[in-house]
Amino acid sequence: MIAMKLQGKTATAIIVYPNNKILLIKRSTPPFIGYWALPGGRAELGETAEHTAVREVKEETGLDVEIVRKVGEYHERGIQGGQEYDYYPVCFLVEPVCGEVKRQESEIAEVKLFGIDALPAVMAFVHAKMIKDYLSQERAKKTSAS
């Protein structure tokens, strides 16, 4: 039996740290319990994608961040854990401005830095693609700067 459908606009954030580490969160709420993901979530009524990304990062990790640039827009749908979903996430590259990492206990099981070349195998949504797109953009920037 499939529960109600989760749908709508969402925003995620890639937070890159020195030594090519990315901050990921492990979800503790359906439909992706136990999956690693970028911080982010659903947009509230009338909220821009940028505001959603900044708000969700703060709520889930305790960090204040600034948008650097948009990485891309995505669409993903499926069924996971008996929950149907149909999301339209926008992904941003952000940089931490202040704050200490502190997970949102009601939704997040764990917060951890991963090396870009050592990402976890179990990732939610299209987040692995978002990170791959970010890395491709970074390589293109370095190539054009040479």
Question: What letters, b where the CB count within 10 A reaches 16 and e where it falls short, cover 113-141?
Answer: ebeeeebeeebbbbbbebbebbbeeeeee
Amino acid at 52: T
By annotation, the residues acting in catalysis are 110
Spatial separation of the C-alpha atoms in residues 130 and 95, rounded to whole Å: 16
CB 94 within 8 A of CB 54: yes
